[in-house]
Chains A and B, each alone.
Chain A
Amino acid sequence: MVTLHHYLFLSALLFGVGIVGVMVRRNLIVILMSLELMLNAVNLTFVAFSRYLGSIEGQIFVLFIMVVAASEVAVGLAIAVAIYRQKGTVDVNEINLMKW
Chain B
Amino acid sequence: MTDLVWLIPILPLIGFLINGLIGRRFPEKVVGWIGAASVGASFVVALLIFLELIGMPASSRSVQKVVYTWMLSGDLNVPFGFLVDPLSMVMMMVVSGVGCIIHVYSIGYMHGELGFRRFFAYLNLFVFNMLILVSANNFLLMFVGWEGVGLCSYLLIGYYYEKQSASDAGKKAFVVNRVGDFGFLVGMFIIFVIFGTFDFVPIFAEAPNKLTYGGGLATAITLLLFVGATGKSAQIPLYTWLPDAMEGPTPVSALIHAATMVTAGVYMVARCSVLFALAPVSMSVVAVIGGATALYAATIGITQFDIKRVLAYSTISQLGYMFMACGVAAFGSGIFHLMTHAFFKALLFLAAGSVMHAMSGELDMRKMGGLKKALPRTHWTYLFGTLAIAGIFPFAGFFSKDEILYFSFAKNPGFWILGAVGALMTSFYMFRSVFMTFYGTSRVDHEAAHHLHESPPIMTVPLMILAILALIGGFVGFPIIEGANVFGNFLAPVFAPAQAIIAHAAHAGSHHASVVLELTLMGVSLAIAIVGLLAARKFYITDPDAPERVITHFPGLHELVYNKYWIDELYDVLFVNSIVKFSRFLWKSFDDTVIDGIVNGVAGVVRSWAGVLRLVETGLVKDYALSILVGLLAVIGYLVLR
Contact A100 B621 (CB under 8 A): no
Main DSSP-derived SS at the B contact region: helix
List CB contacts (< 8 Å) of A1-60 with chain B.
Answer: 19, 22-24, 31
B447 at the A/B interface (Cβ < 8 Å)?
Answer: no
A99 at the interface (CB under 8 A from B): yes
Which of A23, A97, A98 is within 8 Å of B622, CB to CB? A23
Report if A93-B620 is in contact (Cβ < 8 Å); known contacts: A19-B629, A23-B625, A23-B626: yes
User: Which residues on B sit within 8 Å (CB–CB) of A99?
Assistant: 617-620
Nearest CB of chain B from residue A30's CB, rounded to whole Å: 12
Say if the beta carbon of A78 comes within 8 Å of chain B: no
A87 CB → nearest B CB, Å: 13
- What is the total number of residues of chain B having a CB less than 8 Å from a CB of chain A? 12
Residues of A within 8 A of B626 (CB): 23
Give chain A residues whose Cβ lies under 8 Å from the Cβ of B511. Answer: none
CB distance from B305 to the nearest CB of A (A): 74
Q: Mark A79-100, 1 if CB is under 8 A from B, else 0.
A: 0000000000000110111111
Distance in angstroms from B489 CB to nearest chain A CB is 89
Q: Which B residues are CB-close (under 8 A) to A100?
A: 614-619
B621 neighbours in A (Cβ, 8 Å): 22, 31, 92, 95
Complex contact B620–A92 (CB within 8 A): yes
State in angstroms the CA–CA spacing of A23 and B622 once bound together: 5
Q: Which residues of B contact A22 (CB under 8 A)?
A: 621-622, 625
- Write the B606-642 contact mask toward A (1 if CB under 8 angstroms, else 0): 0000000011111111100110010000000000000
Which residues from chain B contact A23 at a C-beta distance below 8 Å?
Answer: 622, 625-626, 629
Q: Which residues of A contact B618 (CB under 8 A)?
A: 96, 99-100
Contact: B625 with A98, CB < 8 Å?
no
| Contact call A96/B625, Cβ cutoff below 8 A | no
Min CB–CB distance A44 → chain B (angstroms): 18
Cα separation A78 to B115 with both chains bound (whole Å): 62
- Chain A: minimal CB distance from B167 (Å): 51
The CA of A92 and the CA of B544, in the complex, are separated in Å by: 102
**CA distance in complex: A24, B617 (Å):** 18
From B618, which residue of chain A is reached at the shortest CB distance?
A: A99
Distance A23 CA – B624 CA, assembled complex (angstroms): 9
- The answer for the CA separation of A98 and B621 in the assembled complex, in Å, is 10
Inter-chain contacts of B625 with A (CB < 8 A): 19, 22-23
Interface residues of B in 36-84 (CB under 8 A from A): none
Shortest beta-carbon distance, B606 to chain A, in Å? Answer: 15
Q: How far is the CA of A92 from the CA of B618 in the complex (A)?
A: 12
Q: A19-B629, A96-B619, A100-B614 are in contact. List 14 more A-B contacts (CB 8 A).
A: A19-B625, A23-B626, A23-B629, A24-B622, A92-B620, A95-B619, A96-B620, A97-B619, A99-B618, A99-B619, A99-B620, A100-B615, A100-B618, A100-B619
